[in-house]
Amino acid sequence: MIRAGIIGFGKMGQIRYNSICQRKDIETVAIYEPDDSVDIPAVLRRQSPEEIFEDKDIDAVFICAPNFLNKKYTIKALSEDKHVFCEKPPAFTAEDVEEIISHEEKNKKALMYGFNHRHHESISHMKKLIDSGEFGKVLWLRGRYGKSVNKEFYKGWRSKRETAGGGIFLDQGIHMLDLFMHLSGGFDIVKALVSNLYWNLDIEDNVFAIFENTKTGVTASLHSTMTQWRHLFSLEVFLEKGHITLNGLVTPSGAYGEEELSIAGNSEAPAAELIKREVRTYKVDNSWLSELEHFVSSIKSGNKIKVGSSSDALRLMKMIDKVYEQGRKNEK
């Protein structure tokens, strides 16, 4: 039995707790949440994160805290000989992640980051189709991911660069970029516009970014926004012999609707006649359980994390650094 502690019992902490409760090989034995009004079983409540870090009977720590604490808590948990599951973003910069990796390598514990979008069944099917080669190689991708926020947003830690590290791109756009890299590989060129046209905070409310892999020629276009006035998720992958489109995303809030995966094959270029079409609809989100399965299996087997690893996180944060660098250049 793996004994787990959870730090942070907001939305994500509760999701991780509920997932753990559905397994018989891992149990939650301690929870720390600074907000005393949050309902937590008394037997599980701890008064500080240190109580969890320093508890020798705890094997794994789930870090579900505000972004600015992710690096600090991850390093602390690893140094206390704990396996770590940390929500995104892993840190604020790639340099931060490199520091985390040095502790991971020293302490030889499992470290996994919460990029649950990869674990959606629709995404898994997209990945399977792409890797099969049935539609040829990937040519380009396009992703839109956005939401609307209200004035209550001003009161939370996500509205401040000091505690969030960035705006909508680091909050949601990071998932879309991670999917781009998961489905088509990495990128080495980034062009981006980072703007704040409406909310007048010290974080961005829009990012328009283009990514290119100069070796493969694959290009990806991403729009991450919180001035869309609606929740929307759309991921399109265009290949030599067809295209795959995912609209909607099943989430705990239900705000993005069901997932509709459209698969189409085209006649040979330059003709554009549609010769095959399949539509799959996904109504249930099993991504949280799939993530947990991967984490638990890695702990029990001693095998390295394959999805959501620190190396994945480092590659991703290097791209995110480049986007924000572009934004700073634009400001000048």
Per-residue pLDDT tens over the stretch 199-219: 889 999 999 999 999 999 999
CATH code, domain with 83: 3.40.50.720
Tokens standing for 14?
């509760």
* Overall number of domains in the chain: 2
Q: How buried is 265 (Cβ within 10 angstroms: 0-12 exposed, 13-18 middle, 19+ buried)? A: middle
Pick the closest to residue 184 from 161, 216, 160, 210 (CA basis).
216
Phi first, then psi, for residue 168 (nearest 5°) are -60, -30
Residues 156 and 295 in one domain: no
Is 328 domain-assigned? no
Residues 9 and 145 in one domain: no
Question: Average model confidence (pLDDT) for the chain?
Answer: 95
Is 319 domain-assigned? no
Residues 57 and 177 in one domain: no
Alpha-carbon gap, residue 208 to 210, rounded angstroms: 7
* Whole-number Cα distances in Å, 168 to 114, 150, 198, 226: 17, 14, 13, 6
According to the model, what pLDDT value does residue 269 have?
66
Alpha-carbon gap, residue 167 to 184, rounded angstroms: 25
Question: What is the Cα 136 distance to its own chain's centre?
Answer: 27
Alpha-carbon gap, residue 212 to 105, rounded angstroms: 31
Q: Give the predicted TM-score (pTM) of the model.
A: 0.95
* Whole-number Cα distances in Å, 201 to 151, 162, 171, 235, 279: 12, 11, 15, 28, 41
Confidence at 226, pLDDT banded by 50, 70, 90: very high
Is 318 domain-assigned? no
Residue 257 belongs to domain spanning: 121-249+251-283
Confidence at 287, pLDDT banded by 50, 70, 90: very high
Q: What's the pLDDT tens digit per position in 131-189?
A: 999 999 999 999 999 998 888 898 999 999 999 999 999 999 999 999 999 999 999 99
In this structure, the number of other CB atoms found within 10 A of the CB of residue 203 comes to 22
- Give the strand pairing for 206-212 and 189-195: antiparallel
Written as one string, the DSSP assignment of 170-205 is IIIIHHHHHHHHHHH---SEEEEEEE-SSS-SSS-S
Is 320 domain-assigned? no
Is 74 domain-assigned? yes
Beta bridge partners of 119: none
Tokens 């069901």 correspond to 258
Alpha-carbon gap, residue 123 to 88, rounded angstroms: 18
In this structure, the number of other CB atoms found within 10 A of the CB of residue 325 comes to 13
